[in-house]
């Protein structure tokens, strides 16, 4: 009876191991997917923080520029040329706006690069290249 029990458990154990392999693979794949999703969420939130900092710095610099011009225009004895002051302010605002949009675009590109790098961890490039090569060879 002992032999019978050990024999009956051995095949069941082998079947359990074979049956678990796909489940283990799916569990591992799901875990990797969740890890990458969490990494990507973190990347997006860091990107949002960077965008907010860029906006905050741009707003602060614009407020300082305009406050300086307002102060200059309040002094009656300065004899400033109004057209020159307004033109200079406009030039500085356009330059700052250009820099602002470039900084925003740079932050977004950096965030997207990090997201793509993270997502590429899930792709087995050897399998992808083999599949791509096979498709083009059979076309």
Q: Say yes or no to pLDDT of 1 above 50.
A: no
16, part of any domain:
no
DSSP code, position 123: S
Contact partners, residue 110, CB within 8 Å, separation at least 6: 47, 50
Give Cα 126 distance to the centre of its chain.
25
Q: Say yes or no to pLDDT of 6 above 50.
A: no
121, part of any domain:
yes
52, part of any domain:
yes
| Per-residue pLDDT, 23 | 72
20, part of any domain:
no
Q: Which domain holds residue 44?
A: 37-137
Band (pLDDT 50/70/90 cuts) for residue 120 is: confident
58, part of any domain:
yes
Total structural domains within the chain = 1
- Segment 92-101 shows an average pLDDT of 98
CA atoms of 70 and 133, how far apart (whole Å):
66
């Amino acid at each position: 009876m002992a032999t019978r029990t050990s024999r009956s458990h051995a095949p069941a154990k082998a079947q359990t191991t074979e049956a678990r392999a796909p489940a283990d693979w799916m569990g591992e794949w799901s875990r990797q997917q969740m890890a990458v999703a969490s990494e990507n969420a973190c990347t997006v939130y860091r990107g949002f923080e960077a965008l907010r900092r860029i906006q905050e710095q741009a707003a602060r610099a614009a407020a300082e520029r305009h406050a300086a011009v307002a102060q200059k225009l309040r002094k009656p004895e300065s004899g400033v040329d109004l057209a020159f002051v307004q033109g200079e302010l406009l030039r500085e605002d356009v330059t700052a706006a250009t820099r602002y949009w470039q900084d925003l675009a740079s932050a977004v590109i950096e965030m997207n690069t990090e997201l793509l790098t993270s997502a590429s961890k899930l792709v087995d490039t050897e399998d992808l290249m083999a599949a791509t090569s096979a498709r083009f060879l059979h076309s």
